[in-house]
A and B are shown apart, each in its own frame.
Chain A
């Protein structure tokens, strides 16, 4: 019991020290592409432009609503801001082989990766999906949002424009 307390205390002390000068970057984890290739998250880049990273699953209704909403405006967003959308599926063995059919069937044009044992999900502290991150050109997390209510994509777009404007 004593060890546990010590462990916990040590963690919090270190946490507070670290939090003071914090920048959160994308953790390095192996994902699969929908074509079955392995990719390291460090390979996900967008030539110094912002990236939207969105966690979803084929069975998650609000996730699909969010991705469809972004998909409808994706061409316009890309043209104006250069932003790239990366959707990370947390479908497990039960539905992982439906991810590509789902993406094609939905007519989505953005990059989709698979995090079948939810390693990136855990590393990024995602509790519920959808959970969307906005990364700047260097892969730093600038903003994150959980859940999806209709119209939330406008808030996200506002944050992207803010980020572009600052440059």
Chain B
């Protein structure tokens, strides 16, 4: 059956293509990108790095896109021979992971094959991929978008979801409508008050299976179709913005929530004000039992239909990223605030070039719940406004200042309170202070030196049982030299000087030419958690040589 499908697909792919090539004689255009990451692993018992039996680990992928007018076709080849450390071993293998044909004009887009899509903020549907954390929630099926009238966009889709090298058994169907009210009426188009509204619905179908209830001898009567809907609004007035999305999900007993029948809900609020040189924004969210997967028994990082965004700031400095926040789709509440301010040039604090200040803080807690029972019951009740167990607090202040045409400094202070529960292991909460100094010196045209020093003081202690190698107090130094417009070399070391383990040094060399980048590095990598957008994966300790090549054409 699968083969018939593929053959059919092949025909579909090639027919319009060859037809188009012959008829138009333009040949269209082929573009693509290639990425290769290889790692030679060595054992290091101190940091817990092991040598893979294959020694060389390789991830590689190539996307090739063909475009001819409104017609597109694409293929993606992926190989994991075997996957790099931290990627799920179920990726091991190679093949065509992604293939589609698409036609688009001003009125509509239609895609057959694999596709990515998002409704609103993604609370009920977001098919996306992130190659660095090894997530690909692509849907295989059919998707369309209609733009019947200025300001109106309708979306519809149906398909199955990628699960490493196969597809999950659940069917995902969805529709979404978005209306930009001001665009509908010419008289409103230039008004300062703008309003946009949206609504979406997603349904999952999966065959029944035998799941034991909490009461011995009984099994669960599982809903075969599970629906989720969301409403959203976005209001703007001059520099002001207010955006809200509320989503609800029907009874969805699944492995993530312990097969309870409680309905799910999520609320996301955003408010912001900005003018040139100053901005502030606030976000709030509440998520209750919203893990929505296309296969009810799935627990891993794949097969999520929806996406619950983390609202904590995505940091880039090493120690500020040491304890990242992982979204708890089963239940959490959070608040986040962000302020940016540019002190004007030619003022006392601004100096000749001005000074940039960026402040951010966030706090995430669990819900307050009262248990009802286990699998087969409603599970628990929760109080909407009550905040539960503390999960995460994060505060950072960054001051960036250009000192002269050749010198620039950035100083950052960060404070993180971390509860290990969010990574699923025991242990007390701990408090971490981080200081970062980042100095850039443009020595001459095309020659730049950058130094980075970081310190982290923590009240965490290394515990042999938990074996969290991030514990303790740390120092880091990094020097980076870029030259000739194409090259860079860098040396860095992270050293735990109290109550922990490890000395992690890395040397790296990179070469960039147009859209091609080659990077070679040698050193040790601390085990940790890599998070992008609140979606995380564990990265084991590694020691060895890595080679990365990317190119786009």
Contact = CB atoms under 8 A, between A and B. Distances in A.
B445 interface: yes
Interface in B481-536: 482, 485, 488, 510, 512, 514-517, 533-534
B475 interface: no
A25 interface: yes
B387 interface: no
A49 interface: no
Interface stretch (B27-35, B38-46, B295-303, B463-471): B27-35
A167 interface: no
Contacts of B440: 150
A95 B314 contact: yes
A98 interface: yes
Contacts of A10: 10, 13-14
Contacts of A131: 515, 552
B106 A36 contact: no
Contacts of A98: 272, 281, 338
A127 interface: yes
B116 interface: yes
Contacts of A123: 65, 72
A144 B514 contact: yes
B434 to A, nearest CB: 16
A143 B530 CA distance: 33
Contacts of A17: 21, 27
A28 B313 CA distance: 32
A9 to B, nearest CB: 11
Contacts of A102: 279, 340
Given A6-B10, A7-B99, A155-B485, 5 more contacts: A7-B10, A25-B67, A97-B270, A101-B279, A105-B341
Given A97-B272, A127-B35, A30 B516 contact: no
Contacts of A28: 70, 104
Contact of A97 (B145, B281, B515): B281
A3 B121 contact: no
B196 A36 contact: yes
A37 B243 CA distance: 14
Interface of B: 3, 6-7, 10, 13-14, 17-18, 21, 26-33, 35, 63-67, 70, 72, 75, 77, 95-96, 99, 104, 106, 116-118, 120-123, 126, 128, 145, 147, 151, 153, 180, 182-183, 194, 196, 234, 236, 239, 241, 243, 268, 270, 272-281, 283, 307, 309-311, 313-316, 338, 340-342, 356, 358, 440, 442, 445-448, 450, 482, 485, 488, 510, 512, 514-517, 533-534, 550, 552-553
Given A10-B14, A14-B30, A125 B116 contact: no
B10 A151 contact: no
Nearest to A10: B14
Given A93-B122, A106-B356, A150-B482, A125 B272 contact: no
Interface residues of A, number: 67
B380 to A, nearest CB: 27
A19 B277 CA distance: 46
B111 to A, nearest CB: 11
14 contacts: A3-B6, A28-B104, A36-B180, A38-B180, A93-B120, A94-B310, A103-B274, A104-B278, A105-B340, A117-B116, A125-B65, A144-B552, A145-B514, A150-B440
Nearest to A4: B96
Closest 5 CB pairs of A and B: A105-B340, A101-B279, A104-B274, A105-B279, A94-B309
Contacts of B30: 14-15, 18-19, 22
A8 B517 contact: no
Interface string A137-152: 0000001111101111
A124 to B, nearest CB: 8
Interface of A: 3-4, 6-8, 10-11, 14-15, 17-25, 27-28, 30, 35-38, 40, 59-61, 92-98, 100-107, 116-119, 122-128, 131, 143-147, 149-152, 154-155
A145 B316 contact: no
A146 B516 contact: yes
A19 B99 CA distance: 20
A106 to B, nearest CB: 7
Contact of B314 (A7, A24, A94): A94
A30 B180 CA distance: 14
B512 A149 contact: yes
B364 to A, nearest CB: 13
Given A92-B533, A127-B35, A149-B482, A3 B10 contact: yes
Contacts of B239: 104
Contacts of A14: 17-18, 21, 30, 66
Contacts of B279: 100-102, 104-105
A28 B109 CA distance: 10
Contact of A37 (B106, B122, B180, B447): B180
Contact of A125 (B63, B147, B194): B63
Nearest to A6: B10
